[in-house]
Structure 1
Amino acid sequence: MAPGEIAKKRLLPSFIYFPTKAEKDSGDLRLPWDPFGERVVGEYARQRGAETSGRLVSSSKSWLSFSGVDRTKAILPVDAAEDCPKISPVVAAATFLRHLKASWNYDLGKSLGELKDLDVTITIPASFDAVARDLSVQAARSAGLENVTLLEEPQAAFYAWLYQNRDSWKDLIRVGEVILVVDIGGGTTDFSLIQVKSEGGGIGLERIAVGRHLLLGGDNMDLALTEVILNEMAEAQRSFSLRQYNLVVQNVRAAKEALLEDPSKTEVAFSLPGPGRGLVGGTIRASLKRDVVEKVLMEGFFPECAFTDAPKDELQSGLMEFSLPYEKDYAITRHLAAFLNQNSDALPTHLLFNGGVFKATSLQSRIIKLLNKWLEAKGKSQISLLKPVDLDLSVGIGASAFSLARQGALWRIKGGITRSYYIGIEKAGPAIPGMPPKLMALCLVPEGAEEGSEFAIEGRTFGLVVGRPVSFPFLASSTRSGDAPGDLVPELGESIEPISQLESTLEAPGIAPGTVIPVTLKVKVTEIGTLEIYMVSEEKGLSFKMEFGVRE
């Protein structure tokens, strides 16, 4: 892509580039629907961002899921140049959606209707918690999309397979069988288990398990391959600026994708501008070989391991650069073993891959070989491979198929929420100087609760502080599947983790600020997977509604 060029592409890379004043003034970055060119999205953003520093937003979806930051604050780019504005992860998500909406309306709006008037399915990682889901909906609404439904990406990949095999799928998978979806994207890896169940004399599908959020994917592989190339160049006594390093990453990514796309290629060459001014003397040539790609990916990301192997948790430095919480162990196979160990009562019978990295059939073969080895040791049959529709586009195709399922034209996968959710309750007792009040965790919604379900916390009354600033800690657990709504966990341990803290002032007209009023709690899981919490005081005739991340 070049400045001033507008082209249709198969995929939209999730990068945002903030142009310099000179670039904006040139007019080359304007779009038919955006005469200002304040933010560049997609292929050129990725390309131009690699040539500069401090002007590129990447991995914004991972930032949207990171509970360690305020995702509504302007923090991206983390390394922003002095003259570069910052945006929040929510605004970044809205920027992509606005771009998609505008390009749809420009190209297809007249013939198919404007996007704001259509039902839109937005796919998200299966491991997104309730807060990240709510923020995704906020981003969609900010982009002018109201009729939005969220769908987990591994489920979307399976919906694509269901649609492609809509006339024969019941002959291909049977009651009691379990499908493992392994979905590796640019920045994340997702595992999901979908079980075929007997339902009302017929057959049904239910997503029964989801792996934890793994910040590990194709981007990590690109960086590992880049280090190999840089080491080769270092042997030739070449050093690189940050701009050149970014260009190496960009070229390595393109070379890796070219090798994975075309099995007949054994090597892809590329050139980089060097420090010299001459046309020849200023050019550095390099290449990426297929055997290097397969060796790095096989040994680093897909090594052989035992079913009982756990991801390595290496000692960290006390100080580190502020960034996302990337996985310390980049062996995807060990993370897969840990996921299946946690769900050993539902070992898979079928396997579905998703993600462009699996165009390397050797990587598919490695996972199949390991799964068969693990299953054989458990006395189970070998895994059966389901053919993916399109390793790049299955999620998009599946999102469209999901819309048919919602209309009853295709089988729908049941699932519910992937974790149990809690709210922090201050333990009653006398104040102790220097000691903060202890918190207990009240279960609001159990793991597996279906969208649309409602829960009332029976037999308990709580004290709610009104009229002054207070905080509401929200917590979650992916291991305490036995907790029921109303269960109180007296001690917070490693099994329950904080995911969000809402600070608010609940106004109660006619009641003195700081008054504690009695309330009961009700909770609803919305159709899009977020949580609505109602605090009702019948005595005072008041009701307060909260969502994860939103106060209405």
Structure 2
Amino acid sequence: MKNSPFIVGIDLGTTNCVVSYIDTLKDDTQCNLFEIPQVTDIGMVEKLQSLPSFLYMPLESERPEISYKLPWAAPEAMKNVTGKYALTRGAQAPTRVISSAKSWLCHSGVDRNSPILPWNVTDAAEKLSPVAVSAAYLNHIRLAWNHTMASTDKANELEAQDIYLTVPASFDAAARELTVKAAAAAGLADVNLIEEPLSAFYAWVNGNADGWRKDVAVGDIVVVCDIGGGTTDFSLIEVCEEDGELVLKRIAVGDHILLGGDNMDLTLAYAVKKKFNDEGVNIDSHQMLGLIHSCRDAKEKILSDTACASADIVVLGRGRSVVGGTIKTVLERQEVEQSIVEGFFPKCTIKDNPIERRASGFKELGLQYSSDSAVTKFLSKFLKQHLGAKETEKSFIHPTKILFNGGVTKGISLRERVREVLSGWLEAEGAQAVTLLAGDDPDTAVANGAAYYGFTKRGKGIRVRGGAGRAYYIGVETSMPAVPGMPTPVKAVCVVPFGMEEGTDTGIAGHVFGLVVGEQSVFRFFGSNIRKEDTPGQVLDEWDETELSELASLEATLEADGNAGGSEGAVVPVKIHSYLTEIGTLELWCEALEGQRKWKLEFSVRQEGRQED
């Protein structure tokens, strides 16, 4: 932790990036939004509250060094455009615009370090990796900050500040490390990570000053419902008492659910496409990409402004099938709310679970979107999963308060539907209806909360006790004779318990493991956000797939030296020591029983391990 003049929170969002900061030279916890200069039109640069998470790759004929010049950039550096103008170009040149890079960061089924975006666009002259795109957003923020805040004092440069970068609570250690890698590529080599729902709660605490103690009491359980552009995240925070003081403790986080504003944009696009079809106008695949971007703009305009009754949908014409070039229609507020409320927040019972559809034998590669669009059913599943074993009189854990966050939840009708459904479940079991906690602006809460969290890390303010949001396990192959047609059984050994604090380590006592060195090996990892009682070293011979899920594996060749390190292909007896870093990534240190040799495996990269002497 740096003793820097500013504490900076960066919300690296799927749809928008927001930057907030606290000036430590002032004696308060006031969070200030950094307005980000960006290209908004050809030859125009404006300061906006957010940097839309879109990247546009202009043609050389557009002369980007002139058309999209930024005040801090040399002309030859103006290759791609990030922010508002890139968002605008999404509806006009969809094959040259990259969006949802953050969702790709957690997709273990692709090489997130390889140039794969824009996805499924075969005629793209250039492609970028999800890591590179995320780095582009952060680099824009760094350069904009330094141009605005540090032009006369290098001590104010962004890379010299305490930086807290937000990630979904459901991001596993690999996705977290890729986020850190993107930050380093942008010149921000020293960042801290904080989960987005937790950030939103910190924003609520800071926004209410000492008044938050009047809104919650001992025994309250707050469910944070965070629905952003790409993901839906749930977290539970319990209000406890220690030494006569109220204490906040994060007790659960949800699974990674790729369900959010992107899905809603697609839903609206298909509804509008049907309108066009009914009028005898066909929409091809290229126009469909533009239609999705146009529907996103319309949705955000309608949901963010209660006075907005409708929004125009404009799609550029293509070919001879469209008369007059551009085609237009209108999207009414009622259509938006009907499609989103009923489609994504249907009324259901606490017994309902998301529908798990059987996968087709052939499936298009892409983002692993949820097979069910019902956010309320995922909430039901989450609350049932985290019911304590001793609470036999309940069918789900009973939240008493709800805090909304994420751009999607700006819609009043959406918040009311979730509260209505959740209260119905509670009242059916004799509990009181859930109470709404009035939160910060959903667009800025995560960035504000991240900055305030950094303030609490300096020993001030109110801390929420959290730690690891899931338990981590390594896969250990059992020693048994080969059986035809049967794979060698694997045991799962807990190396990080649920709630383990970042920056702490633990030894796996009572176990000696065999580590293969000198040849390519696969290291398997598992995670669980349900098994909260497992301790380091606990061995699971069998488990239910609903409570333990396999994470991205590592392929690595750990160096052999012929001595204590063993020869090629040797199995070296080792003890394991696990360290959960300050940023939430997992390091496993394997120490040979004989000699001084150690190997380090970082659960961080897609297909490579790191080893150290």
Q: What TM-score, normalized to structure 1?
A: 0.94
Match of 1:501 among 533, 539, 553: 553
The Cα of 1:432 is off from its aligned counterpart by 5.3
Instruction: Letter of the 2:507 partner, please give it.
Output: A
Instruction: From the superposition, tell whether residues 357 and 470 of structure 1 become closer, same or farther in structure 2 (CA, over 3 Å).
Output: closer
Instruction: From the superposition, tell whether residues 432 and 290 of structure 1 become closer, same or farther in structure 2 (CA, over 3 Å).
Output: same
Match of 2:445 among 394, 401, 416: 394
Structure 1 position 528 matched with structure 2 position 579: no
Match of 2:569 among 514, 518, 541: 514
Structure 1 position 122 matched with structure 2 position 162: no
Instruction: From the superposition, tell whether residues 302 and 436 of structure 1 become closer, same or farther in structure 2 (CA, over 3 Å).
Output: closer
Distance 2:542 2:95 in 1: 43
Q: Which has the higher contact order (CA 8 A, sep 6+)?
A: 2
Alignment coverage as a number of residue pairs? 551
Match of 2:149 among 84, 101, 108: 108
Distance 1:14 1:271 in 2: 21
Match of 1:33 among 48, 63, 73: 73
Distance 1:415 1:55 in 2: 41
Name the residue aligned to 1:194. Answer: 237
- CA deviation vs aligned residue, 1:11-51 (integer Å, no higher than 9, x gap): 11112222233335663233332532222212222222332
Instruction: From the superposition, tell whether residues 470 and 359 of structure 1 become closer, same or farther in structure 2 (CA, over 3 Å).
Output: closer
The Cα of 1:275 is off from its aligned counterpart by 5.0
Name the residue aligned to 1:65. Answer: 106
Tell whether the 8 Å contact from 1:463 to 1:516 is kept in structure 2 after alignment.
yes
The runs of 5 or more residues in structure 1 that have no matched partner are none
The Cα of 1:235 is off from its aligned counterpart by 1.0
- CA deviation vs aligned residue, 1:58-87 (integer Å, no higher than 9, x gap): 211111112222323332222244453333
- CA deviation vs aligned residue, 1:297-320 (integer Å, no higher than 9, x gap): 121011111111111123332222
The Cα of 1:372 is off from its aligned counterpart by 1.3
Cα RMSD after superposing both structures? 2.2
Tell whether the 8 Å contact from 2:474 to 2:493 is kept in structure 1 after alignment.
yes
Match of 1:9 among 48, 51, 54: 48
Distance 2:41 2:218 in 1: 53
Name the residue aligned to 1:18. Answer: 57
Match of 1:151 among 171, 194, 210: 194
Match of 1:76 among 102, 117, 121: 117
Partner secondary structure for residue 372 of structure 2: coil
Instruction: Letter of the 2:556 partner, please give it.
Output: S
The Cα of 1:425 is off from its aligned counterpart by 1.2
The Cα of 1:479 is off from its aligned counterpart by 2.9
Tell whether the 8 Å contact from 2:118 to 2:128 is kept in structure 1 after alignment.
yes
Match of 1:441 among 485, 492, 505: 492
Structure 1 position 93 matched with structure 2 position 145: no
Instruction: From the superposition, tell whether residues 502 and 316 of structure 1 become closer, same or farther in structure 2 (CA, over 3 Å).
Output: closer
Match of 1:349 among 395, 400, 406: 400
Instruction: From the superposition, tell whether residues 271 and 457 of structure 1 become closer, same or farther in structure 2 (CA, over 3 Å).
Output: closer
Tell whether the 8 Å contact from 2:253 to 2:529 is kept in structure 1 after alignment.
no
Structure 1 position 419 matched with structure 2 position 470: yes
Range 363-372 or range 15-24, more displaced: 15-24
Q: What TM-score, normalized to structure 2?
A: 0.85
Instruction: From the superposition, tell whether residues 465 and 281 of structure 1 become closer, same or farther in structure 2 (CA, over 3 Å).
Output: closer
Tell whether the 8 Å contact from 1:439 to 1:492 is kept in structure 2 after alignment.
no
- CA deviation vs aligned residue, 1:431-468 (integer Å, no higher than 9, x gap): 45776543222211112222223221112111222222
Tell whether the 8 Å contact from 2:193 to 2:584 is kept in structure 1 after alignment.
yes
Distance 1:25 1:366 in 2: 46
Instruction: From the superposition, tell whether residues 85 and 432 of structure 1 become closer, same or farther in structure 2 (CA, over 3 Å).
Output: farther
Instruction: Letter of the 1:418 partner, please give it.
Output: G
Structure 1 position 55 matched with structure 2 position 96: yes
Structure 1 position 311 matched with structure 2 position 351: no
Structure 1 position 452 matched with structure 2 position 503: yes
Match of 1:539 among 594, 600, 603: 594
Name the residue aligned to 2:225. Answer: 182
Distance 1:51 1:282 in 2: 12
Distance 1:469 1:34 in 2: 45
Distance 1:461 1:22 in 2: 63
Partner secondary structure for residue 553 of structure 2: strand
Tell whether the 8 Å contact from 1:54 to 1:79 is kept in structure 2 after alignment.
no
Match of 1:204 among 234, 247, 258: 247
The Cα of 1:543 is off from its aligned counterpart by 1.0
The runs of 5 or more residues in structure 2 that have no matched partner are 1-39, 389-396
Distance 1:455 1:444 in 2: 8
1:153-172 equivalent positions in 2, closer than 5 A: 153-172=196-215
Distance 2:575 2:289 in 1: 55
1:203-242 equivalent positions in 2, closer than 5 A: 203-242=246-285
Instruction: Letter of the 2:145 partner, please give it.
Output: W
- CA deviation vs aligned residue, 1:234-265 (integer Å, no higher than 9, x gap): 11100123343233222222222222222223
Distance 1:243 1:47 in 2: 16
The Cα of 1:339 is off from its aligned counterpart by 1.0
Range 255-264 or range 371-380, more displaced: 255-264
